[in-house]
Amino acid sequence: MPSPNGTREITYVEAVREALTQSMQADERVFLIGEDIGVYGGAFGVSAGMHAEFGGERVIDTPISEAAIVGACVGAALTGMRPVGEIQFMDFITLGMEQLVLQAAKVRFMFGGKATVPMVLRTPGGSGTGAAAQHSESLETWFTHVPGLKVVMPSSPYDAKGLLMAAIQDENPVIFVEHKLLYKVSGPVPEEPYTIPLGEPNIVREGKHLTVVATSIMVQRAKQAAEELAKEGIEIEIVDPRTLNPFDDSLMIQSVVKTGKALVVHEAVKTSGYGAELVSRIVESEAFDYLDAPVRRLAGLDIPIPYNRNLEYHAVPQVENIVAEARKLVRGEY
């Protein structure tokens, strides 16, 4: 489907699949491994058709064992392969923590750079599908706390393809978080292979009254909020980190210096969430002298995600919450 600027539009899930396919076509060391990713095509259809194209030796179905998936990825990466593992729901990454935190994250450092672990672990995160407390978590901040792991959270189809291709080419273990609600979102994506450097943020929308720093699905909700606020004459600037670790904060700081106000929005629970890191970086930088309002955080409630759809909706920030918080900041109501 072509877009107005001539670049065809595809969905987020198609962009992820295309990144995987083109990476496998370009490098025979790349292979996929996970539960039900073969003939079935994955729980969310990401690898649909790839088993037929690449065969069972490069699209490998595993038993129900996340520890085995992550362990196999670490071992394969150490021996020269470039595995892309899939954890069916982010919640289940807990079962592979030893392999990730004690092995993958530390091997390169402990061997003085003589060994590398070029692996990617893809995992759908977030709420909004009625999947309840054990299939709806946002655990990305856990991994930003572990030196040696890179953490990526693309918010658009364009970013999903470019960041995933970059992650597969990286020499370090990368946690690649895909929000389940983004899979059906469409956007312009070039057909040819391309990469987006890990660590570089993006200004999604320019504005002058308030900087909103948002991650993953919250970028899309911030864009919707911006449209509502623009009707009131409030122009917000949206900064998407894209990569949580590493993260070059200079673009975010420049934005806050310009607007003088900042709101950080993420889905994960507020306590010790990634937003706290972003707020700290803002107040520890030169942007502090330009602030004319408190830096605010808007995040998920400190509760497990409820199964009840109405309760689930109110457990994490929605468009109306972003609008309300932004309006208060701009109007000086704090």
Which string of DSSP letters, residue by residue, matches 191-227? Answer: SS-----TT--EEEE--SSEEEEE-THHHHHHHHHHH
Q: Are residues 14 and 155 in the same domain?
A: yes
Domain count, the chain: 2
Catalytic residues: 66, 135
Q: Are residues 178 and 229 in the same domain?
A: no
Of 162, 188, 214, the domain-final residue: 188
Q: Are residues 105 and 208 in the same domain?
A: no
Name the token pair of 282: 């803002």
Query: What's this model's pTM, rounded to 2 decimal places?
Result: 0.96
- In degrees rounded to 5, what are phi and psi of residue 89? -135, 140
pLDDT (tens place) for every residue of the chain, 334 residues total:
445 455 799 999 999 999 999 999 999 999 999 999 999 999 999 999 999 999 999 999 999 999 999 999 999 999 999 999 999 999 999 999 999 999 999 999 999 999 999 999 999 999 999 999 999 999 999 999 999 999 999 999 999 999 999 999 999 999 999 999 999 999 999 999 999 999 999 999 999 999 999 999 999 999 999 999 999 999 999 999 999 999 999 999 999 999 999 999 999 999 999 999 999 999 999 999 999 999 999 999 999 999 999 999 999 999 999 999 999 999 998 7
Q: Is 194 inside any structural domain? A: no
Q: Are residues 227 and 157 in the same domain?
A: no
Q: What CATH number is given to the structural domain containing 221? A: 3.40.50.920
Q: Are residues 159 and 231 in the same domain?
A: no
**Tokens 């982010």 found at:** 90
Q: Which helix (H) or strand (E) holds 143?
A: helix 140-144
Domain limits for position 257:
202-331
Instruction: Give the angle subtended at the CA of 208 by the CAs of 207 and 214, to the nearest 5°.
Output: 50
3-state secondary structure of 106: coil
CA quadruple 210, 215, 221, 223: dihedral, nearest 10 = 50
Q: What CATH number is given to the structural domain containing 16? A: 3.40.50.970
End-to-end Cα separation, the chain, in angstroms: 45
